[in-house]
Chains A and B, each alone.
Chain A
């Protein structure tokens, strides 16, 4: 299919009303090129076919043969090409579709192969992590490159780091704006009578979510009865009419144009939904839930959007809409969130997706029979009268109130009571009290001793305290908040910290491989043990190389690390012994290492 090209004479229109510039449309290989006849006009167009979505007018309709191409990157700008006749248009259309399909196939093949191995994306994440975290990189270099651990094992414990990005993307949904759709103010230029509304896909989504009647109308009318642009023009005309609060004009225009009337009338679909919802609310639980909660019909006593009161003739009642209604509906939709994930520019697709979602949820909610049954049961349960019901004999758990003295006495402890010793002690206590009272009497009589303290003693105390404080300063550091690690030379400090992280990494893999059931685990454990003994000897070397005044502290730091390694080694030895004992003692079954 590639290599062929199609060339047709067309008129290029940037919008429906545009008269059109005549020119040539050339489609080949992956490119679409429009060259106008008049070299001076600047509506040349060159686009790749991958990015095109196309709409076309039907042959049977009275409209001329148009091919409407929307280019994805250019945000929904539509380019309309008017062909000379229908067969031309069909040919072009088919050609573009064919090109589109052939583009899709190689993509599919690529996807299949990449799922077998790691996706490039994941590798990218890994590289990025390694680049950012130098500690991790060091660990990685030390272990994976020296074949102690394999890549998979290394990253197995770090799934959290890897999965962060993807999790973030999938879990967090973008919410809806809380600004109301009706708050979109058009831009006016003071000179002409034109009012311009700006429509973005975001706004379209919100309109569809809030007003199901509009959505339904869109599905029905576009593109059969009118183009999208016409549709939105009518919609905004209706909005404009609302904002002018001129219900008489609204009624008049509604009578004229039936499509406009759809926008002006209250939203039927919404009303139906709320009525259903209210039926499902259990009035026994929620006494307030009644017809008054049907907010779609709520007329708040004639208070308009800007607070003025207004009197309206009853026949034009349905053309009014109140602020409360808008607010309630908008709030309900925002709280629901984004129910679909379609990121398409095509409004029709969005509308259809939304309808489908609503239908599904309606279908779920329509298990009315069961719901009713459940509600009846619940009501009977709640409304039951206790004294008319049968006595319920719950199994009783016996109260166990312990004697509080037990607790307090247990605090005294169990000590053997030797009577002879006790008597002796009692006498001793009595004597002691006597001595104490004597001392008090003595001091009352003689007063404070004079001199209170001998100067030599005082001096000695001072010097010993100074010594204590200065030695403490040397050992612990001037600043109580100062960390000992900062006093080490930088290289030693880095080494200590690195060993610390490797001591956390290696034993984790080591202990997780026990109990050993496969030869793979056996080799893994062997490799880990070698790496650990390597680290151990490095720690010993470091202890020796440090300056003498820091040596004690460093050995204190290193001790828990070596203890952890010792525990691992012990376990390894014990396990090895057990195995050799077992294999030499018992029979040796097949396949058991």
Chain B
């Protein structure tokens, strides 16, 4: 006889893991302020939790030098003893904001310790993706009845090409686990990582044009659970930017050299692969020209 819990379990129970971009370098010069952005996001989270009693939400903050879990709706300690400060926040999110503040402080300290500031002003996407996937893997192992997980990446910072390898690894793990990665990019340039992530894992990628309508975008596109996506039309991007970054200089390249053993990408010809150490032979173009010269010479003699 099925238990009450399983009876309540319908197809559209979802676990949403939200990767929130808290890169200060990005937020210091945007059209939308961080507080406005947060209010859109928090309302969206509330809406997702309201769609189904069994829905779960996990928020991971993607900082400049670190990432951390900020909020988990399945924990009961959320409604702890928080004095309601003023009229503002519903107690549900008070803990989230508190944790977020602590996280930002910690992140600042870490970035101060780091020293070299020669990175691109990107957020640590690879770290938060890995944390999300670990959480999801734990959920998978918790038993038969679990919500369908998906990852939503809310990002505005540009891609950091030095994270290319780690991000691609996370994307392929997500593909393996059949976890779609949705991405909402609110930055200026295009993010190739997010496009590829959504394309490969079967998620939705969208770049909202109007940032003050962010809540509308979020609820229209990203609130749909996996089951409903079978019969709901979501906006699809026309093309995907599949460019990779080379392993030697971290530049984004269109054409390059690939090691046939480990598939590492290089922008210029190397004698040896730096990842796996295999030695490359002479390139075929040089060989072919020498052979054809030899052939031409033969009838002369």
Contact = CB atoms under 8 A, between A and B. Distances in A.
Given A413-B161, A437-B101, A515-B295, A453 B233 contact: no
A444 B89 contact: yes
B143 interface: no
B212 A443 contact: no
A429 B111 contact: yes
B105 interface: yes
Interface stretch (B6-14, B80-88, B178-186): B80-88
A243 interface: no
Contacts of B88: 443-448
Interface string B202-223: 0000001110111111001100
Interface string A435-459: 1110111111111110011100110
A458 B216 contact: yes
Given A457-B213, A460-B210, A415 B25 contact: no
A425 B39 CA distance: 29
B281 interface: no
Interface string B75-103: 00000000001111110001001101100
A468 B238 CA distance: 10
Contacts of A422: 116-118
B40 A475 contact: no
Contacts of B3: none
Interface string B28-57: 100001111011101100000000000000
A412 B101 CA distance: 29
B116 to A, nearest CB: 7
B199 interface: no
B2 interface: no
B162 interface: yes
Contacts of A446: 35, 86, 88
Contacts of A468: 235
B33 to A, nearest CB: 6
A452 B100 contact: no
A411 B33 CA distance: 33
A134 to B, nearest CB: 36
Nearest to A587: B300
Nearest to B38: A443
A453 B212 contact: yes
B249 interface: yes
A380 B102 CA distance: 74
A464 interface: yes
B22 interface: yes
A234 B101 CA distance: 102
Interface residues of A, number: 55
A472 interface: yes
A444 B212 contact: no
B43 A452 contact: yes
Contact of A440 (B38, B87, B216, B234): B38
Given A415-B118, A472-B235, A432 B213 contact: no
Size category of the binding interface on chain B: 35 or more
A273 to B, nearest CB: 51
B212 A454 contact: yes
Contacts of A449: 35-36, 39
A461 interface: yes
Contact of A442 (B22, B35, B116): B35
Contact of B117 (A425, A453, A464): A425
Given A430-B108, A440-B35, A443-B38, A476 B236 contact: yes
Given A425-B117, A429-B64, A435-B24, A448 B161 contact: no
Nearest to B217: A461
Given A422-B117, A448-B39, A452-B39, A412 B111 contact: no
A416, A428, A454, A458 pick with most chain B CB within 10 angstroms: A458
Contact of B300 (A437, A453, A454, A589): A589
Nearest to A468: B235
A517 B295 contact: yes
Contacts of A591: 299
B43, B94, B213, B249 pick with most chain A CB within 10 angstroms: B213
B146 interface: no
B236 A472 contact: yes
B27 A462 contact: no
B189 interface: no
A457 B213 CA distance: 6
Interface in B242-301: 247-250, 274-275, 292, 295-296, 299-300
A431 interface: yes
Contacts of B236: 472, 476, 480
Contacts of B295: 515, 517
Nearest to B214: A453
Nearest to B301: A589
Given A457-B210, A458-B213, A464-B209, A436 B27 contact: yes
B298 to A, nearest CB: 9
A441 B220 CA distance: 29
Nearest to B248: A410
Contacts of B97: 440, 443-444
Given A439-B38, A443-B38, A447-B88, A589 B116 contact: no
Nearest to A435: B28
A491 interface: no
Contact of A441 (B101, B116, B209, B221): B101
Given A411-B165, A433-B104, A461-B216, 13 more contacts: A411-B162, A417-B116, A425-B117, A430-B108, A440-B34, A440-B38, A452-B43, A462-B216, A465-B220, A468-B235, A472-B238, A475-B238, A592-B299
5 contacts: A414-B249, A430-B108, A439-B33, A440-B38, A515-B295
Interface of B: 22, 24-25, 27-28, 33-36, 38-40, 42-43, 64, 85-90, 94, 97-98, 100-101, 104-105, 107-108, 111-112, 116-119, 161-162, 165, 208-210, 212-217, 220-221, 233-236, 238, 247-250, 274-275, 292, 295-296, 299-300
Interface of A: 407, 410-417, 422, 425-426, 428-433, 435-437, 439-449, 452-454, 457-458, 460-462, 464-465, 468-469, 472-473, 475-476, 480, 515, 517, 582, 589, 591-592
The 10 closest A-B pairs by CB, nearest first: A447-B88, A432-B24, A439-B34, A413-B250, A461-B213, A432-B28, A443-B35, A461-B216, A433-B108, A457-B213
